[in-house]
Amino acid sequence: MQAATQVKTGSLPELFCGYPRDERLGPVPYPIACHPQAWSAASVFMILHAMLGLEVRGFERKLVVDSPVMPEWLDWLKIENFKVGDGAVSLLVRREAAGASVAVLERRGDVRVEVLA
């Protein structure tokens, strides 16, 4: 996630090299890497899926958030217009001492949100 904030093209590259991380420098450019690369762009969504325990049950029009956690460097996260079936929800997730809290900011259509501890 830190690398994504440093990439000037606005998209994640195909790969990252194994050089040691230096907080003063951003990612080393790799000019022949594909930009954007589908699997690296999708990795952001897989990270969110893992952090928040997201499960979309489209036929049930339900979003399940199972045992969400936030890294210590991220206090909050806002997800807008998350499609579930033919509806959508917007969420605000806040880091807490024991996991994370989830607030539904907006709901459009027949969508339910279930948060499991």
Per-residue HEC secondary structure of 8-52 comes to CCCCCCCCCCCCCCCCCCCCCCCCCCCCCCHHHHHHHHHHHHHHH
Q: Which residue has the higher pLDDT, 66 or 37?
A: 66
66-70: average pLDDT: 95
| 30 and 11 within one domain | yes
Model confidence at 13, pLDDT cuts 50, 70, 90, reads low
| 16 and 57 within one domain | no
| 39 and 6 within one domain | yes
Mean pLDDT, the chain, as a whole number? 85
| 42 and 20 within one domain | yes
| 100 and 46 within one domain | no
**What total number of domains does the chain contain?**
2
| 92 and 58 within one domain | yes
Please give the residue range of the domain that contains residue 85. 53-117
pLDDT for the residue numbered 64: 97
Model confidence at 10, pLDDT cuts 50, 70, 90, reads low
Q: What is the pLDDT of residues 29-54, one digit of tens each?
A: 777 766 666 666 677 888 899 999 99
8-27: average pLDDT: 71
Instruction: Say how many residues make up the chain.
Output: 117
| 101 and 62 within one domain | yes
| 40 and 79 within one domain | no
Q: What is the pLDDT of residues 76-103, one digit of tens each?
A: 999 999 999 889 999 999 999 888 999 9
Q: Are 83 and 108 in contact (CB under 8 A)?
A: no
| 11 and 23 within one domain | yes
Whether residue 1 is predicted with pLDDT greater than 70 in this model: the reply is: no
The residues that bridge with 93 in the sheet, in sequence order, are 77, 102
Question: What are all long-range contacts of 38-42, with beta carbons under 8 Å and residues at least 24 apart?
Answer: 40/12, 40/13, 40/14, 40/15, 41/11, 41/12
| 85 and 40 within one domain | no
| 43 and 68 within one domain | no
